[in-house]
Amino acid sequence: MNWTREARYTALNADTRPRFDALCAQAAASPWRQRYHIQPPAGLLNDPNGFCHDGREYHLFYQWFPLGPVHGLKYWQHLTSADLVHYQNHGIGIAPDSIWDSHGAYSGSALADGDGLLIAYTGNHRTAAWERIPYQLTARLDTHNRLHKNPPFLNGAPAGYSEHVRDPKIWRETDGSYGIVLGAQRDNHTGGALYLTSPDARDWQLRGEIDFGLPDFGYMWECPDYFPLNGRDIFLCCPQGLPADGDRCRNLYQSGYFLGTFDKAACRFTHDGFRELDYGFDYYAPQSTQGANGERLLIGWMGLPDTSCPSARDGWAHCLTLPRVLTIENGQLRQRPLPALDQLRGTGAHDGIHYELNLTNPQSRPFILTLRAGATAKTVLTYNGEALIFDRSQSGALPEPEKDVSGKGGHIRRLALAQLHSLRIYADTSSLEIYINDGEAVMTGAIYPPADATGLHIAAADDATVTVYPIP
């Protein structure tokens, strides 16, 4: 299909419903459909949005273009869950049906507030001359999933910033007031983040740009997030335009965090540098929330902007990652799989495609772990005593960057590790999520292997052990 501007900005309505239904049937027949990850019924999924717990259940939305596996007119799809393992789909949560979001309901967040959810998001509007006007909006979602949009609290970009101001992350302070951080691009095409406050979530004051001491760190910061954790402050963001640095920042776009202290009165965040959240291939736009038991949870998009997706041939693209539990231990961020994911474990033999694999390597000795092996494909994890190497170069069809940027791309990732004593791997039809050393690091990768790629082999020292749980 020729994805013209008109085609990309076509709405899902009664006239286009037959087309959408046909696309859903095409997607359902895809050999790469996931078994236990959140994926779109058809079309393109990207950022997780509105992730929160309302005291009874979790709400999770994702940004979505229903009518094709490309970026187009964005909706929010709404899911709920009691445990973040099993989900109920409530359909469209936000439709781009107002002047403020006429060209897409862009990313945002939510929190439980009174009777329902308070949502903050960016409405994307284009003029007849195709000039972008970003509107920052709040909306209320009641307990019957009815949405009421409020007029924008920020019209267009503040002085000194380009049209690229978006992705509000909202939170509530202990005194009952509200805060928001916004991703932004300065007029000089460098990235940063803005901070806003409100006593009532109606009247908002722009406090200014947060000072990170980084006047030239990428050209745009997307999907910011802020939260305190274990006595420290964490600021998540996706700074676009970072150069590759050896084994670091090898993906087209990065997702990472600053660990430090947020002085809100001074609008300053002190930190010890930017760190990547995931050292694999496909991870972007993560969003956090406080869980039912007070823990900090994180879900990301298993994909990247400006990157092709092999499943697009089947009318769909991308999924969300599994939820992670965040802690800070010995000054380091750890990410562990949500304990409730143990519910996925079955018994008996696995099919070589859908499983959880746990490897223990008590002496940190070298090993080679071959996953999804077939006649023409394999994915290989190698530990050589110095680094873990994730090689998907022979995994089958693969996502590819649509831009040629020096040092970016490729299908091998290397993470320096003096010790590697454990791996926990979640394998689904078209993805691998690899937790290293009890959450010390994570590597995520989308793969699109042929149907016969079901082999699993390990070459390791005698004291290494592997346990595999099938996921039926």
Residues designated catalytic:
47
- One-letter amino acid for residue 193 of the chain: A
CA distance 406 to 380: 25
Q: Which two three-digit tokens encode residue 460? A: 């390791």
Please say whether the beta carbons of 77 and 89 come within 8 A. Answer: yes
What are residue 393's DSSP bridge partners? none
CA distance 436 to 415: 10
- β-strands 316-317, 43-53 pairing: parallel
Q: Which two three-digit tokens encode residue 170? A: 């909202």
CA distance 294 to 292: 6
Q: Which residues have a Cβ under 8 Å from the Cβ of 83 and sit 6 or more positions away?
A: 340, 343
| Length of the chain in terms of residues written | 472
CA distance 383 to 364: 9
Q: What distance lies between CA 347 and its chain's CA centroid? A: 30
Determine the 3-state secondary structure of 5 from DSSP. Answer: helix
Backbone angles phi, psi at 275, to 5 degrees: -130, 140
Q: Which two three-digit tokens encode residue 411? A: 């299908």
Residue with the two structure tokens 């970026």: 71
Sheet (strand 256-263) strand order:
220-229, 232-240, 256-263, 268-276
Please say whether the beta carbons of 109 and 287 come within 8 A. Answer: yes
Q: Which residues have a Cβ under 8 Å from the Cβ of 225 and sit 6 or more positions away?
A: 109, 169, 181, 234, 235, 236, 237, 286, 287, 288
- β-strands 367-373, 324-329 pairing: unpaired
Q: Which two three-digit tokens encode residue 304? A: 């990247």
